[in-house]
Amino acid sequence: MHSATATVSPARLAQAGKYLTFFLANEEYGVEILKVHEIIGILPITRVPRTPAFVRGVINLRGKVIPIIDLRDRFGMSREGAEEQVIIVVQVHGIQLGVVVDKVSEVLSIADGDIEPTPSFGVDVSTEYLLGLAKGEGRVRLLLDIDRVLTASEIDSVHAAAAAEG
Amino acid sequence: MSPYSLNDLAARLIAFEATDEDFRDILETLQVMADDRALPEGVRALMGDALVRWIAAPADTRERAAVDLQQVVVAAQGRLDLRDRLTVALHSEPAPSPARESAAPPAAQQSAAPLLPPDSDLSLLTDFIAESRELLEHAEAALLGLEIDPDDAEAVNTIFRAFHTIKGTSAFLALDYLNEFAHHAETVLSRVRDREIRCTGGYADLALRSCDMIRSLLDATQDALEGRGDALPDGYDALLSVVREPEAAGISELGGRAPRSDDDANETPDGTMLLSARDAFAASERSAARRPGSGSDRSADSSVRVRTARLDRLIEMVGELVIAESMISQDPILKQGGHIELNRKVTHAEKIVRELQDLSMAMRMVPLKAPFQKVARLVRDLGARSGKRIEFVAEGEETEIDRNMVDFLGDPLVHMVRNSVDHGIEPPEERRAAGKPETGTVRLSAYHASGNVVVALRDDGRGLNREKIVRKAMQQGLIATAEGMSDKEVYELIFSPGFSTADQVTDVSGRGVGMDVVRRNIEALRGRIEIQSVPGQGTTFLVRLPLTLAITDGMLVRVGGERYIVPTINIHLSFRPSRAALSTVAGRGEMVMLRDEVMPLVRLHRIFGVDGAKEEPTDALLMVVGDGNQRTALLVDELLGQQQVVAKTLGDGLGRVPAISGGAILGDGRVGLILDVNELLTLARHGDVSDHMHTPSRAVA
């Protein structure tokens, strides 16, 4: 049954626990609460040249410079109708990064029984950043593998790929 | 077993000061403990609750949440104790008692015992390690001083006190190996103090090696603390047995004045080595006034130990305060006039803030003493090993430099010194034949010059050999011919990667790594290295470094809707070109002429893929950057003004961004990017001006 989750490499499966959920357009996503450092209002973002498109730039977080990641780009979503109001600051492998989202929803306790592996949608939909789906209250929430979305090695490999193409 | 215990958590909570590291630690600890199935259900539930409460607390009230958390820890501790008592009762067999409880001092047979006692106090140990390292530094300085003046009673006392304190504290902390070793080292030194033996020759060497061993033990303890293994340093048992009975191991007061026969001296290979070490320093006795790192300045300023993370944070916050303050003082309302009283108050606040900034910058300046002392020791050891006689002279070791740079300066210095000792200073016979004193001199000096720190390393050796460098460089294919190259250009070749002129590889140098690394390290510190050499008279390395890496003098420029900071040090001048000065090569490569100098024109907006920038150079501005014969004109829209900025990294998440060295918070609170001009020019030169990410790629040769 795990093969259903497989896209690029075997991703780890979502664990039961507390998740912070947020909206991108009308899709609701969840991120493990332990990775969340804080939630701040949107701030002016300085674009950084020659970085992958999913890097929106950097912001000044009380004197600290942290990168901002664009999830829509990561998921291949259109930016149309985006009402980005909130930045979720996460900490992954000791690195602080911001993620721009439309709005934050709630903190949710998700049990093992509510979690399902991500189904495969074929080549058009990229699911490699998902840990699984959570059912509940008649809704489906997409549980993010934030480590995969944001790790430096991922960014480095994009750098390398870009350099190779160039 | 869980990597975290309640004790760890408690220790962190007590030390909690709302820095990001503490926050992460606590969060991780809570998380691990909440998931740790080895803990009783009740404790895990408590931790889970605490975790949720902690996360729900906004950042500024976490201090208060920390107090709540402490109560949770106490509660959890209570339940754990209960469980422990139950376990003990059930198994009716106490936990294996640690070795240190045996009355006899630990000996060789218990080398299987762990470095750390099972219930060590984290914060106490950390303090102990830091304090001991400092004591060792003092002891080492005093030891080097003793080699010059073996009768300096105060120096002997300093060393003795260091070992004594380490012995006492390590016993208290149940660090058996350290305690054992320090105990015997102290015994040897007490004999020195009581004038039974003199701290010269073999004893001096033994004392230095003991310092090294204690330092290794401290490192090992630190590793064990951080869970990176639990291994004794190499050679512990061997050195311990020497320290226990130095005479049995052939250690003696070798040297001219010591009443010992030469047969005795040559008995062990160690002995001969020590003899030359003694000789190497014999000459320097004459110059006691100039002795390196002498233990004479014992008038210790009263000081407080502060965690570096906290200090950095303070300096960062002062930087923010300066920016916030300038936002107020430049507010349009104040400029309107009519607010005389308010203006006066703002000016007053501004003065205070500036002073605060100066003060905070001074807080992180430290003297160059530590790296200099390392060099003193290195010269001594290298000289002894190679049989050369070397006097080491240190000047200006009180010169101050940013603390963050001191650590990075150590490695390049070591390489340079090795180079001087191995290639520069000749063996005594050769020096005599050349009519020079047999004892060579290595002089390390530091001083301030025009806002920079200059570190100079000078030897009076044979100097660089032009022919030899040219021959090697041609062999290695670095150059085709040396014709037309100035001496300076030839000397520069030794900084090329893989270059080495050593005829044979010694354990000192000649492996072909070194000088290129030195240059890279110095340049990473935004410094420059120069080399001067006179055949037969010696070589000088001149290293120029900025006072601090934290503050960059920059020019704020605008390109389209973006602003960048160009370090002032990179800018020669800026000008608006006339139409006649512009020309192109093959319709593509753009050039501009400035006072008979033709240089390539690089459009910053094109390299960075910025939209809406000025395309017409005659409407915009050209900034001349780059060095010497490789000057380049950089096209920007306009200059916005000069600014001192606090350079920050862009965060680890981004990795290396080409042509950007970091970011800085600008007056309006937004982040401005600091350009790395050299990288930018390389990027432009390699024709890779198409921005693969933001603009459609263009084929450029």
Specify the higher pLDDT residue, B684 or A152. B684
User: Per residue in B595-621, pLDDT tens?
Assistant: 888 889 999 999 998 988 888 899 999
The minimal CB distance from B663 to the residues A58, A94, A95 is found for A58
Q: What is the mean pLDDT of residues B326-345?
A: 81
Using the predicted structure, report yes or no on whether residue B292 has a pLDDT greater than 60.
no
The answer to whether residue B666 scores a pLDDT higher than 80 is yes
Confidence (pLDDT) at A72: 85
Confidence at residue B352, expressed as pLDDT on a 0 to 100 scale = 92
Lowest pLDDT segment from A10-24, B89-103, B122-136: B89-103
Taking only the tens place, the pLDDT of each residue in B686-696 is 754 443 333 33
Whether the predicted pLDDT of B629 surpasses 80: no
| Domain extent at residue A107 | 2-165
Partners of residue A162 in chain B, C-beta under 8 Å: 692-693
Place of tokens 């002392």: B373
Taking only the tens place, the pLDDT of each residue in B560-582 is: 989 999 988 788 889 999 988 88
Residue type, A109: S
The domain total for chain A is 1
CB contact under 8 A, A34 and B55: yes
B169-183, B528-542, B633-647: range with lowest mean pLDDT: B169-183
pLDDT band at B72 (very low <50, low <70, confident <90, very high): confident
Output the pLDDT for position B260.
Answer: 37
Q: What is the per-residue pLDDT for A7?
A: 40
Complex ipTM > 0.95: no
Q: Could you give the C-alpha distances from B533 to B37, B391, B425, B461, in angstroms and in order?
A: 68, 19, 13, 10
Token pair belonging to A40: 């701040």
Looking at chain A, which residue has its C-alpha nearest residue B699?
A166
Identity of the residue numbered B537: Q
The token pair that represents A19 in the structure block: 């998740």
Strands, DSSP E only, in B368-439? 390-395, 400-402
Supply B297's token pair: 């300045």
pLDDT at B272 exceeding the cut of 90: no
Highest mean pLDDT among B166-180, B391-405, B490-504, B520-534: B391-405
pLDDT digits (tens, 9 = 90+) for B392-414: 999 998 888 888 788 888 888 88
Average pLDDT over residues B166-175: 78
d(CA B594, CA B572): 12
Domain over B366-546 is classified CATH 3.30.565.10: yes
Rounded to the nearest 5°, which phi and psi values hold at B498?
Answer: 80, 0
Question: What are the boundaries of each domain within chain B?
Answer: 6-95, 119-282, 310-363, 366-546, 551-685
Q: What is the DSSP string of B57-105?
A: S-GGGHHHHHHHHHHHHHHHHHHHHHHHHHHHHHH--PPPPPGGGSSSP
- Least Cα distance to B143 among B196, B198, B181 occurs for B198
**CB B498, CB B510: distance < 8 Å:** no
* CATH number of the domain encompassing residue A26: 2.40.50.180
- Kindly state the percentage of chain B with pLDDT values over 70: 74
pLDDT for residue B158: 82
A152 touches chain B (CB under 8 A): yes
> Which residues on neighbouring strands pair with residue B124, listed in sequence order?
none
Same CATH fold, B551-685 and B366-546?
A: no
Architecture of domain B119-282: Up-down Bundle (1.20)
Quick check: pTM over 0.80? no
User: Which pLDDT belongs to residue B59?
Assistant: 65
Over residues B312-326, the pLDDT tens digits come to 888 878 877 887 787
Percent of chain B with pLDDT over 90: 8
pLDDT at A124: 62
CA-to-CA dists, residue B411 to A119, B365, B398, B544, angstroms? 54, 19, 19, 16
Question: How buried is B220 (Cβ within 10 angstroms: 0-12 exposed, 13-18 middle, 19+ buried)?
Answer: buried
**pLDDT grade for A99, boundaries at 50, 70 and 90:** very high
Interface contact A107, partner B, CB < 8 A: yes
**Percent of chain A whose predicted confidence (pLDDT) is above 70:** 78
Quickly count: other Cβ atoms within 10 Å of residue A124's Cβ: 6
Is B694's CB within 8 Å of A49's CB? yes
Closest CA to B146 of B208, B196, B190: B208
In chain B, what residues touch A159 (CB-CB under 8 Å)? 655-656
Residue B462: burial class (beta carbons within 10 Å; 0-12, 13-18, 19+): buried
Whether the per-residue pLDDT at A59 is higher than 80: the answer is yes
Torsion of CA B317, B320, B325, B327, to 10 degrees: -160
CB B665 to CB A63 under 8 A? yes
For B697, the 3-state DSSP assignment is coil
Query: pLDDT-based confidence at B99, cuts 50/70/90?
Result: very low
Average pLDDT for residues B149-177, to the nearest whole number? 80
Residue A42 has pLDDT above 50, yes or no: yes
Q: Which helix (H) or strand (E) holds B176?
A: helix B176-193
- 3-state SS class at B665: strand
Scanning the structure block, which residue is given the tokens 């780890």? A12
Question: Which residues, including other chains, have CB under 8 Å from residue A87's CB and lie 6 or more apart?
Answer: A39, A40, A41, A42, A43, A59, A68, A98, A99, A100, A101
Residues of chain B found within 8 Å of residue A150, distances taken between Cβ atoms: 653
Mean pLDDT, chain B, rounded, equals: 75
pLDDT at B420 over 80: yes
Average the pLDDT over B283-291 and give the result: 38
Q: pLDDT-based confidence at A129, cuts 50/70/90? A: confident
Contact B473, B482 (CB under 8 A): yes
B629: number of Cβ within 10 Å: 7
* Residue B255: per-residue pLDDT: 42
Which range of A142-146, B84-88, B289-293 scores highest in mean pLDDT? It is A142-146
Summarize the confidence of residues B99-113 as an average pLDDT: 40
User: Is the domain B551-685 a CATH 2.40.50.180 member?
Assistant: yes
Best mean pLDDT range from A14-18, B104-108, B285-289, B413-417: B413-417
Q: Do A34 and B31 touch (CB under 8 A)?
A: yes
Q: What is the pLDDT of residue A70?
A: 85
Compute the nearest-CA separation of B270 from chain A (Å): 48
Cβ of B517: how many Cβ atoms within 10 Å? 14
Q: Chain A: nearest CA to B220, how far in angstroms?
A: 25
Q: Do A65 and B650 touch (CB under 8 A)?
A: yes
Among chain B residues, CA nearest to A56: B654
Nearest to B653 among A18, A62, A150 (CB): A150
Q: How confident is the model at residue B529 (pLDDT cuts 50, 70, 90)?
A: confident
Residue in A37, A46, A96, A156 to test binding to B, most B beta-carbons within 10 Å: A46
Q: Do B651 and A18 touch (CB under 8 A)?
A: no
